[in-house]
Amino acid sequence: MTDLFAKLALDPSREAMAEGAVLLRGFALPVEDQILPALRSVVAGAPFRHMVTPGGYTMSVAMSNCGAAGWVTDRSGYRYDRKDPETGRPWPALPQCFLALATAAAGEAGYPHFRPDACLINRYAPGARLSLHQDKDERDFLQPIVSVSLGLPATFQFGGPNRSDPVRKYALRHGDVVVWGGPSRLFFHGVPELKDGHHETLGRMRINLTFRSAL
Ligand code: MD6
Ligand code: FE
């Protein structure tokens, strides 16, 4: 583990997105050799699925979770659940290398006390999208969210506190990490349709890990 922290301490290149939100370019690259196998083992235990929104719409993004709680949606609403509704079993544990990456990124961004208990895993095939939303199902909005992008690049739309606020666009690439909290914690954001392409390790997909303190 000391090794992992040593690698992650390499000076990241930062971009400020808003007050409380920072983009750490390539922050996950030094540990991708640990993250990708751990991800495979998590989704072997909790396979990707297309969840249904309360409005009855099937999401184009496929999702899974690991950690003490997982984010789920169905006809009854959005919530964090300690069990995978598909299997009735607890979600796979948060791999140590996931936890190390998320806490190191949060520390780097000025949130040294972040202890995530949930990791939502989003899988985008070309054409998949996530419409503008706020992340507001977590209990404590003082905790940030740490977001790790893997595979194909995506455009990330980052708005403001109101749905109608103008959005800024960021290209998120393999290995980029966004840490976001404080005054922008509840800002609207989304991902427009993923463009087709081929990534050398993940192929025709984008994976996004979002770490949250949910419970
Ligand atoms: C994605 N991310 O990048 C979707 N939410 O695939 C999110 O919805 C998100 O990246 C909250 C904080 C960071 C995020
Ligand atoms: Fe979100």
User: What was the pLDDT predicted at 187?
Assistant: 97
Q: Residue 36: pLDDT band by 50, 70, 90 thresholds?
A: very high
> Closest ligand 1 atom, CA of 206?
6
| pLDDT digit string, tens, across residues 137-188 | 999 999 999 999 999 999 999 999 999 999 999 999 999 999 999 999 999 9
Could you tell me the distance, in angstroms and rounded to a whole number, from the CA of residue 121 to the centre of ligand 1?
Answer: 10
Could you tell me the distance, in angstroms and rounded to a whole number, from the CA of residue 132 to the centre of ligand 2?
Answer: 8
Q: Cα 146–152–154 angle (5° rounding)? A: 60
Could you tell me the distance, in angstroms and rounded to a whole number, from the CA of residue 7 to the centre of ligand 1?
Answer: 24
Q: Which residues surround ligand 2, an ion (CB under 5 A)?
A: 135
Could you tell me the distance, in angstroms and rounded to a whole number, from the CA of residue 152 to the centre of ligand 2?
Answer: 18
10 pLDDT higher than 90? no
Pairing assessment for the beta strands 62-67 and 145-151 based on DSSP bridges: unpaired
User: What was the pLDDT predicted at 7?
Assistant: 63
| Long-range contacts formed by 33-37: CB under 8 A, 24+ apart | 34/4, 34/97, 35/97, 35/98, 35/101, 35/148, 35/150, 36/150, 36/201, 36/202
User: What was the pLDDT predicted at 8?
Assistant: 61
Ligand 1, atom 5: closest residue by C-alpha: 135
Number of domains, the chain: 1
| pLDDT digit string, tens, across residues 60-87 | 999 999 999 999 999 999 999 999 999 9
User: What was the pLDDT predicted at 123?
Assistant: 98
| pLDDT digit string, tens, across residues 100-146 | 999 999 999 999 999 999 999 999 999 999 999 999 999 999 999 99
Q: Is the CB–ligand 1 distance for residue 184 below 6 Å? A: no
User: What was the pLDDT predicted at 174?
Assistant: 98
User: What was the pLDDT predicted at 5?
Assistant: 66
The arithmetic mean of pLDDT across residues 51-60, rounded, is 98
User: What was the pLDDT predicted at 184?
Assistant: 95
Could you tell me the distance, in angstroms and rounded to a whole number, from the CA of residue 200 to the centre of ligand 1?
Answer: 23
- Best residue among 167, 210, 211 to mutate for probing ligand 1's pocket (most ligand atoms within 8 Å of CB) is 210
| pLDDT digit string, tens, across residues 199-211 | 999 999 999 999 9
> Closest ligand 1 atom, CA of 61?
6
Structural domain boundaries, residue 140: 2-212
**Domain containing residue 174: CATH number:** 2.60.120.590
